[in-house]
Amino acid sequence: MSRSIVEILAIAALAVGPARAADAGWEVARPGWRYAFPRDHGSHPAFKTEWWYFTGNLRGDDGREFGYQLTFFRIGVIPPGGKLEATSRFVVRNIAMVHFAISDLGARKFHFEQLLSRGAYGDAGFGDGGRLAWLDECSLDLGSDGKFRLIGRAGGQSLDLTLSSIKPPVIHGIDGLSRKADGPGRASQYYSFTRLATMGTLGVDGATHSVQGESWFDHEWATNQLGADQVGWDWLSLQLDDGTDLMLFQIRKKNGGTDKWSSGTVISPDGKATHLAASEFTLEPSHVWRSPATAAAYPEQWHIAIPGSGIDLTATARMADQELNLRPTAYWEGAISVTGSRSGAPVRGKGYLEMTGYAGQVTGLKGQ
């Protein structure tokens, strides 16, 4: 059964106590991780936090356009083999959380839900075989054919999608490590499927639509990522019509600057990945939208320049209100359109934008 986030976080605090994550027996992200698939699609319970993050842009048979997000979060409470290890099913080992959102772009309506569970009765969990993650009526499965099956049902909205990879997985960062801040362990193991052919059904406002399009899948696991002087990040996934894909993230600091560990990846049409350091790209925000729910001021538009790749783009929110106003945090995550040029030739595209830390602290990822 689902529980409120206040109840679940209180249980987690009691279980872990005042010890820092590094002192509680959790593994930290390190260079040299040897990624292997399908093994690494599964859970990594030795790390404190992990997420399976799907976003995409879809079109119905009638031409109606949608964006979607379905994310499964695992928040560790007791590390495997730690002093607090126990066998009772009533012991909370992981908090399971789902964020599910649909952007109905034609109707300009944004639907979002948050689900939480301690998974004590098998209603939520994480696996390393065909069944990768589930909570209530939301699930992620990996078929023997390598295709993902994504099901989301909450708040009267639904989706049932099959996703097939067009490109091989991309490892972000350097030597298998995506660094986020100064200090040991301030990083994640992070890979993506940047272009997944997607088809299935989507239900919104009582109507079911046959849809198809393209999705993006991020999988990260870590223990401590952000440092004490960092307040949030801006992250973009872009799929251009020339076959190029881009992942960029910019970490913002309390003093208003950008952290040197911001980075990105350019993925060529044939799947070759090129790492970008913070000095090799710029993200410049404009056209601020202020949320009536949280008063947070989110940039609706971003100018993207990657001189070494000849990339000059403008990413614009498909609609302004795509804020997930959740407890205990709020963030903006939504569909975007892209225009600009690559090596002087015009290019267009679609993607997703995430902006955190504008409406308060990023819960669960701050440095201890």
Give the percent of the chain with pLDDT over 90. 79
Say which CATH class 1-225 falls into: mainly beta
Say what the pLDDT of residue 224 is. 79
pLDDT band at residue 123 using 50, 70 and 90 as cut-offs = confident
Say what the pLDDT of residue 108 is. 97
Task: Enumerate the H helices of the chain as residue ranges.
Answer: 5-16
Q: What is the mean pLDDT of residues 313-323?
A: 98
Say what the pLDDT of residue 90 is. 57
What are the pLDDT digits (tens) for 326-353?
977 899 999 999 999 999 999 999 999 9
Say what the pLDDT of residue 226 is. 81
> Can you tell me whether residue 286 is helix, strand or coil?
strand
pLDDT band at residue 89 using 50, 70 and 90 as cut-offs = low
Q: Is-same-fold flag (1-225; 227-362)?
A: yes
| Fold of the domain spanning 227-362 | AttH-like fold (2.40.370)
| Domain extent listing, the chain | 1-225, 227-362
Please say if the pLDDT value at position 365 is more than 60: no
Peptide bond preceding 328 in cis form (omega within 30 of 0) = yes
pLDDT band at residue 17 using 50, 70 and 90 as cut-offs = very low
Give the percent of the chain with pLDDT over 70. 88
The model carries a pTM of 0.91
Q: What is the mean pLDDT of residues 201-227?
A: 94
Q: What is the mean pLDDT of residues 177-200?
A: 94
Q: Which string of b and e fits 296-328 if b means at least 16 CB within 10 Å?
A: bebbbbbebebeebebbbebebbbbbbbbbbee
